[in-house]
Amino acid sequence: MRKYIDLFTNGILKENPLLVIMIGLCSSLAVTTNIANGIGMGVAMTFVLLMSEVIISLFRSLIPNSIRIPVFIIIIAAFTTIVDLVMKAYTPALSKAMGVFIPLIVVNCIIMGRVEAFSYKKTVADSVADSLGMGLGYTWVLCAISIIREFLGAGKFFGFKIVPDGYQIGFFSQPPGGFFVFALLISAVLAINKAIEKKGGKK
Amino acid sequence: MKTMIRLSFVMALYATVACVGLSFVYIATAPRIAAAEGEAVKSALGEIFPEASDFIDVTGKLESGSDSIVFDRAYVAMAGSAVSGMVLQVTGPTYNSSTMLVAVDMARRIQAVRFLSNLDTPGLGTKTAESPFIDQFFSKSVDDGFATGSDVVAISGATISSKAVSNILRLAGFEGSEYLALNYGGLSGSGKAPSVAELAPMPLDASLADLFPGAEFSDVTGKVANTVERSVVFTGAWLAKKDGKAIGVAVQAKGQTYKASTILVGVKLDRTLAGVRINETSDSKKYGFTMVSPEFYGTFTGKPVDDPYLVGKATEGGDVDAISGSTISTMGVANMAKVAGYEGAVYLASLSAGKKGPPAASPFVLNVIPEEE
């Protein structure tokens, strides 16, 4: 049990895909202008990651090594398309707001990286723990970035206006603002990870 | 070999399973997606005609009369029992393709335009959906010319998108107004339906009839020989006769343009071209393909076959104007027109029907098509 908890928490902080491994950044910077987008993208991505990791670790002995990458792409693309269709059908507004970034989950490095480096070699249970950890790690960072950007850039919190007009900083709604917030989060997480390491080292 | 077959089989298996799974998901979600899109259109309709209480679905009752521009949906806006206008959802080719809602009022004016999708180049073609370009259509009469350069100001750097969007708006606006005039007492206009010329290569039969109207044709393929240029192949020849007398010959030639094109060259007895028509081309849609427009091939009509046919941009003192951005394609067409014209005239002279060429007619120089532009 301890192992699974370790695997799960690994993705959230220690090996956070966005803040520590720093992959799959484009979509995360592009959609994080409001919290609804952040949650939607995080959930969509976590679903695709979970399903792809499960399927690939289930069939890992049946996927020939030399064609593993194309097979991964087929599996990831299938689940991405499912997410895309379901979102179009049930949350059309959200699907429109995210535009091309939902189909682009196919080429998200986090998914490709995790299935290649992790689930192709590990058991299904390990993969589930890893994908949930990674997915949650991705989602919380997305939410954090979008809360900060939505608050500073649009003066809103979960869509409710809390800062009067004229006091917003438009910079944070633009891509540079995304980079800025992202960099702050990276340094914060680095500091936390270092502190944890130090504490662990003293023990 | 064995592993290769095994691997392909495995790959195909995974793809098949994925496709079957996806088709189930698609079947399950398709009605919901269509409904959601319908909702989006309905709410856009409400914004365009805020006073309207009801929208009558007349989808399918209007025809665009064009192969490439499609009216996807159509609604008549009713305010109580009075009609306030109608909205068409129209999809057509712009630089890539766009879908928009076009609203017209009862007085044959465009009321509003909303883009539902615009797949043109971001930052250039997509500007057609934005102010100030799109603003110039509001309250514009559908009987106007909608011509870029006169009553429509094109976006610089996105002329093709601008033209295409104006065309689509004009067609949709016109057909919508006509429908209102016929069925709901809207103002009727005097103008003819705008014809949206779609650029396409002209098939052989149409080209022959276009070059020699009213003539009869007898196949003389093989009798017109290409003796001068190996890179141009004659794929057919037809002698045009009127009242039993030869009036000219049409030679079909295939050769290199940017990629390859097949053109039909009509030669008259007096050693001038009846014209050039493009039968086929595999040149790029964005540039060389422009050769299928009448503005380009029309420049060859009446041109003496003994002219040099050198392309102006590439050769000092050339007599053929290059299509901008497609000098190579122009050169290819000019070369084919020259060779086919020359040989056609020789053939006509051999029938002792046509004028003989001046002594210096041959040999001549062709455009040198560079390997890379």
The alpha-carbon gap from B31 to the nearest alpha carbon of chain A, in Å, equals 8
Residue A60 has a CB neighbour count (10 Å cut-off) of 17
Q: What is the pLDDT of residues B34-86, one digit of tens each?
A: 888 888 888 888 888 888 888 888 888 888 777 788 898 888 988 888 888 89
Q: What is the pLDDT of residues B277-307, one digit of tens each?
A: 998 888 876 677 778 877 788 888 888 888 8
Q: What is the pLDDT of residues B311-346, one digit of tens each?
A: 876 667 778 887 777 888 888 888 999 889 888 888
CA angle, corner A138, sides to A132 and A139, nearest 5? 85
Q: What is the pLDDT of residues B157-215, one digit of tens each?
A: 888 888 889 989 988 998 888 888 888 877 777 666 665 555 678 888 888 888 888 88
User: Do residues B165 and B158 lie in contact, with contact meaning Cβ atoms separated by under 8 Å?
Assistant: no
Which of A65, A81, A102, A106 to substitute to test the interface with B, most B CBs within 10 Å?
A: A81
**Beta carbons of B18 and A74 less than 8 Å apart:** yes
Structure tokens at A81: 């398309």
**Does the pLDDT of residue A184 top 90, yes or no?**
yes
Taking CA–CA distances from B20, the nearest residue in chain A reads A78
Q: Which of B11, B26, B37 sits opposite A85 (nearest CB)?
A: B26
Cα distances from A30 to residues A134, A182, A189, in angstroms, run 19, 12, 21
Q: Is A61 on the interface with B (CB under 8 A)?
A: no
- Burial grade of B195 (CB within 10 A; 0-12, 13-18, 19 or more): exposed
> Can you tell me the ipTM of this complex?
0.81
User: Do residues A120 and A68 lie in contact, with contact meaning Cβ atoms separated by under 8 Å?
Assistant: yes
Q: How confident is the model at residue B372 (pLDDT cuts 50, 70, 90)?
A: low
Look at residue A203 in the predicted model and tell me its pLDDT: 47
Look at residue A79 in the predicted model and tell me its pLDDT: 94
**Does the pLDDT of residue B373 top 60, yes or no?**
no
Q: What is the pLDDT of residues B83-104, one digit of tens each?
A: 888 999 999 888 888 999 999 9
Q: Is A22 on the interface with B (CB under 8 A)?
A: no
The alpha-carbon gap from A76 to the nearest alpha carbon of chain B, in Å, equals 10
Chain B residues contacting A, CB < 8 Å? 6-7, 10-11, 14-15, 18, 21-22, 25-26, 29, 32-33, 36-37, 39-40
The alpha-carbon gap from B39 to the nearest alpha carbon of chain A, in Å, equals 10
**Beta carbons of B36 and A77 less than 8 Å apart:** no
